[in-house]
Amino acid sequence: MSPKHTAVSHERCLAAREVLNRVGDKWSVMTVSLLGEGPLRFGELRRSIEGISQRMLTLTLRGLERDGLVTRTVFPTIPPRVDYELTKLGRTLLEPIQALADWAEQNRTKVQASRDRFDAAEARRPEASVRAAAHRRRPTASTAGAPVLRSSPGEARRRPRGRRR
């Protein structure tokens, strides 16, 4: 592979990652899909997206607005009325999102069957229990940032926060 090809591929990957970080989460996909039907008020969006908190919807809308995908229009009424709608750029996302949703619907059972086969094969592997034990020893939120103890050269373990030894 030539250096030029690698650089172009790297740039494309970075661009894709940046965009997917914004539009790839479930709340953004749902929000964009709903706004594809027309402008909606905050409360209408919140009632339409099952499981989303007010804070999460606010963060999602602000991120979409920041990226130029959604506009926020405030009407000077009492109480203030705020409408959200897709921008021209935001509307260009509807086709890829719908294509992804169609693909997911058509292939969901195949993906689940593959996961089931993989998990069953992993469970039969003798080193699976070793990997599972190693996974449990990885730092968690309660041990991340905790002091690392060394019981012998080359061996480190984390002391969970709040525990004294």
40-86 confidence digits (pLDDT tens): 999 999 999 999 999 999 999 999 999 999 999 999 999 889 999 99
| Residue 37, domain member (yes or no) | yes
**Residue range 15-20: mean pLDDT, rounded:** 82
For 139-151, how does the pLDDT look when each residue is reduced to its tens digit (9 = 90+)?
555 455 544 444 4
More confident residue, 143 or 116: 116
| Residue 147, domain member (yes or no) | no
Cβ atoms of 119 and 75 within 8 Å: the answer is no
69 contact partners, CB below 8 Å, separation of at least 6: 22, 23, 32, 86, 87, 89, 90, 93
| Residue 7, domain member (yes or no) | yes
| Residue 36, domain member (yes or no) | yes
Q: Give the structural domain span for 88.
A: 3-92
pLDDT at 21: 81
Question: Does pTM top 0.85 for this prediction?
Answer: no
What's the length of the chain? 165
> Which H helix or E strand runs over 162?
none
- Counting the structural domains of the chain, the total is 1
pLDDT tier at 28, thresholds 50, 70, 90: very high
| Residue 164, domain member (yes or no) | no
**Matching residue, tokens 């699976």:** 128
pLDDT at 140: 52
Here the CATH number for the domain that contains residue 56 is: 1.10.10.10
| Residue 151, domain member (yes or no) | no
